Each structure stands twice: as structure tokens, then as C-alpha cells.
Structure 1
Amino acid sequence: MESHDALDPRSSLWDLVAVQLRNLRTTHGWTCQQVGDVARASRSHVSNWEAGRRRPNQANLAPLDEAWDTADLLTSLAEHAKNGQDRPRAGSFLEYERTATSIKNYTSDVVFGLLQSEGYARALFRRGGVVDDIDAAVAERLGRQERLYEAKPPKLWVILAQPVLWWQVGDSRVMRGQLEHLLEVARLEHVSLRVFPVSAGWPGVSGSLSLMATSDSEVAYLESGRMGRVVERPVEVRELSVGYDGIGARALPEDQSRTLIEHMLGLMR
């Protein structure tokens, strides 16, 4: 299968740019070299654009729009992709989470949603100011956690960056409750909780990375601040999975992670 066959223009704007670029090139009977000459890029760059391995910029696409008289189609699509690629797709992410048979998560800033205590979640929503109904948002988050207690729960691997245990969300009572909740959930047979220590160095990921496997697919979800992106292309999911494995290789074992959380909890009492 050629690499461009793996593109999914229905779920990725950058894939749509790649598909449209290739369609326009073949419709006009141009070679990749001819496109490169006009776009001020090499032939290999054009090939990589069409395969979705690299992304053209506005300066590359504008002369092609002019040459092909496309009414700025390519530059407009690229602008939307650039500005919209990281917009939240929470609905899609939550649907994958609801049907996942296994979930792997690394979080560098706050406790992963499936492991948040009620008080911690409430304090986050109050601090964030992004929801109108805090009670409903907290109830929805706690409702997501019910899957962990079903007869056939998903296997859950979570790695928390060590600073997540330090940064106070809410008051000290909230943080104590959150650490106690982590220790309780970690006792579940299908949950693995580990800590990525600051001594391991920069992990290479900011925010949150989730890898979810369902009965028929594997996807990833990247989130930083208020922005999120679902990744469905297999090649990207594989790359992110390798990155997660690298983080896991440097994280503390489960028993040492538990000892560290217990130590943090002791300091707060």
C-alpha cells in the first residue's frame, strides 16, 4: 500500500491538504519536480507533502493556487489546518475512552481524569473557568471513572510526572484526598500507576498523552492546556506509542511509585 493511501482526509485537515495537492497535481498532469519548481521546494519535499510526512507552508502553496487557478483552495485549507489541528475533539476522545479495552496515559501537569478525586476535579474546574456548570462537569468526570469498577474494566496504565504530586490544586485537604485516592485506585488489579521522577530528565511530552485500544482500532489523544487532538493515523499512533514506551522505561516501578506517593501524603499530614 502506498503511503498516501493511509491518509484520512475526513479526520485530519493536513491529510486533506495532502490529498488535494496530489489530486490537483495529477489533474494538471504535473510531476512532483514541476510542482517543486513552482513551490520553491525539492521533488522529495513534494512527495513527502503528498504522503503526509511533511507539511507545506503558505509560501509553498500560494504559487500553486495561482498556477492552477484554485481560488486559494490550498492556502485556505493549510491555514485552517494550521489554526485548527489542535482544537479539542473531546467528544471523539471520550467515545474512544468509553469503548477502550486498554488505556495508557502519561500526564505532566495534572492528575489523569480517570484518577481524579471529586474534590480535585472540582478545584480544577473552578480554577480553569472553562465550564458554566461545575457540578455537571464534575459528575461527568466521575461518571467516566465508573468503567474502572465494571465487571470487565479496561486495563489502565498511568504514568504521572512527579511534579503533579507537588503542585497544589485546591487546598491541602484536596491534595491529601487526591493522593489517598491514587493509592486506593492503584490497588485495583487492572490498574498500573507509576511516577516519572524529575531525576529522569525531560520526558519529551508536555501535557497529556493517551493511547487507547478498542476492539478494532488504536488511537492516541494529545492534550495541552485547553487544546486537544485525536490522532488516528496508524503511523502517528505508532510513533507516539514508542514515545510512551520510552517514558515508561524511565518511570519508577509500581512499588517505588507507591512509596513516593505515601511519602508525599505523609508530608501533608
Structure 2
Amino acid sequence: MDGEPTVELIRAQLRRLRMNAGLSQEEFGKLVHFSGSQVSAIELGQRPFDRFFLKRADEVLNTGGLLIALLKIAERDKEPSWFLSWLDAVRQAQQLRCYQPLLVHGLLQTENYARAVIRANDMLSDDEVEKRVAARMDRQSILFSPDPPLYVAVIEETALRRADESFRGLMLEQIARVIEYAQHPHIHVHVIPATVAVHVGLSGPFSLARCRDGGWVGSQETQLGGDVVDKDEDVAILLARWESVRSEALSRQQSIELMKELMTSWS
């Protein structure tokens, strides 16, 4: 991704500036309200950074706003800051847990499905739609990297039934893709059946990434963007909600069988 070199530059500059200031990771951490181990994880790429952290680092290190300026370059090149931070966490993750109540999750989407979903935003030009589709397809490479994360996705049966006649072929292709991916040992897909009417996850999509340092980072999406969640108490809430959502879903094999039944009904 275009933004990734800038992300690495931000980490390198952070470390250089901290050392030039004569601060240990522990000393610097106290000044920005992080632990020394968290600072180390950020510098090593084991934990994402966010705008608040970089703004505070600029103030403590008296950089004249250098780190925030680099973040703005990364945003201009690719993604908004919250999503850039989340992509950074995903890239480093050992485990990914993703819940999506209304759509097939992005890492499972076919190109045609992704294009249809992105094109629903009529404020985007055709060029912007194609750029976003290409970026989404590129992000899926994380699932098939040499050392992929354990990826667990929970989706709703109702999301797999969201189609009219014109959408039928696209949905057949999409469900076939999910079934194909679900055969891989590191990819677990669980479907919440339509008979489960109400549960805590319906308040909105969220994802969790387990970083190399063992900590968890979450993300939540809204109509206007999203947020990266890294405060311990907030992450704990998302982990509890994940367990609740996951408990409502079918097993891996039951989910695959349900999806096969759906394909039969669509065809």
C-alpha cells in the first residue's frame, strides 16, 4: 500500500527524535501517558499509533509538528488516519476477529461484490470507486501471506440473502468465495442464522486484532468513518461482545452447509 512506507518513516522518525532527546522508552512513555513497553511496541511495528499519540509526541519532542505532518502525507496518499492505524494493526496481527452485521466482511469480498458495495456511495467518481476496489482486493493478501493471521469472521445469514434478481449471479459468486476461503485452516467463517432475531452485535460492525506484543486493538466503523480502540477498558468491552456474537453463530461446518443451501436456493 502507498501509505505503508510513510508509516515506517513515522516509526523511524519517532525513534530518532526520542533518542536525540536523550529519553529512554520508559521516560518518553511517561511524558506521552504510555508505558515503556507500549512505546517499544509502536517503534517496532508491533502496535499501531494514532493521531493523539503522534500529536502528544510532537509536543513532548518539540518537533514542530513533524510526525502529524507525516501522518497527513500518509492520509493523502491512501487512507484516513483512523483506518491507516487499523491497517497497520492488521498487517502485524497474529489473530483477527471481525463481525459485520449487514455485509460480507471486506477480507472475504469478491471484486464484483466490493465494487457493488462501494458504488452504492453515489458521491464517489468511477475512478475513486475503482481505486477503492483495488485497495480492498490488495488488503486481502494478508490472508495468504507466508505467515497469515488466524482470521475468524462472523457474518449474518441475512447479509447473504440481501439480493434481488439482478444481484443473484453476484451473490452466487460471493457465497462461493466465502465457502472457498473457509476451507483454509487459518480462516474460520461462522454464520449467525436468521432465526437469531436480536443480539448485541446488531449495534454495529467491529473488528479486533491481536498484536505481536500480545495486546488487542479494536476498530469500529460508522457512517462518517471509524475509530481505533486501544484503551484496555474499551478493548475489554469489544472482546466481551465478540464472545457474545460468536456464541450466537453456527459452527464452521454448519456455516458452510448453510451457505451451500443458500447457493442452491439462489440457483
Superposition TM-score tier, normalisation by shorter sequence: 0.5 to 0.7
Structure 1 residues 198 and 146: CA distance shift in structure 2, 3 A: same
Partner SS for 2:200? coil
Give the structure 1 partner of residue 116 of structure 2: 123
The farther-off stretch of 93-102 and 222-231 is 222-231
Give the distance between the partners of 1:258 and 1:239, measured in 2 at CA: 29
Give the structure 1 partner of residue 68 of structure 2: none
Give the distance between the partners of 1:176 and 1:90, measured in 2 at CA: 30
1:208 aligns with 2:205: yes
User: Contact 2:182 / 2:189 at 8 angstroms: preserved in 1?
Assistant: yes
Cα deviation per residue 1:14-51 (whole Å; 9 max; x = unaligned)?
xxxxxxxxxxxxxxxxxxxxxxxxxxxxxxxxxxxxxx
Which blocks of at least 5 consecutive residues in structure 2 are unaligned?
1-32, 39-48, 53-79
**Structural mapping, 1:123-162, within 5 Å:** 123-132=116-125, 133-162=128-157
Q: TM-score, normalised by structure 1?
A: 0.65
Which blocks of at least 5 consecutive residues in structure 1 are unaligned?
14-86
1:95 aligns with 2:93: no
Q: Which amino acid aligns with 2:235?
A: V
Structure 1 residues 249 and 214: CA distance shift in structure 2, 3 A: same
Give the structure 2 partner of residue 83 of structure 1: none
Give the distance between the partners of 1:129 and 1:121, measured in 2 at CA: 14
Identity percentage over the alignment? 26
Which of these two proteins has the greater Rg computed from alpha carbons?
Answer: 1
Partner SS for 1:200? coil
Give the distance between the partners of 1:12 and 1:137, measured in 2 at CA: 23
Report the alpha carbon displacement of residue 93 of structure 1 after superposing the two structures with TM: 1.4
Q: Which amino acid aligns with 1:215?
A: R
User: Contact 1:126 / 1:134 at 8 angstroms: preserved in 2?
Assistant: yes
Give the structure 2 partner of residue 84 of structure 1: none
Partner SS for 1:220? strand
Partner SS for 2:227? strand
Report the alpha carbon displacement of residue 95 of structure 1 after superposing the two structures with TM: 1.4
Give the distance between the partners of 2:244 and 2:123, measured in 1 at CA: 33
Structure 1 residues 249 and 99: CA distance shift in structure 2, 3 A: same
**Structural mapping, 1:209-248, within 5 Å:** 209-216=206-213, 217-248=215-246
The farther-off stretch of 193-202 and 243-252 is 193-202
Report the alpha carbon displacement of residue 254 of structure 1 after superposing the two structures with TM: 0.9
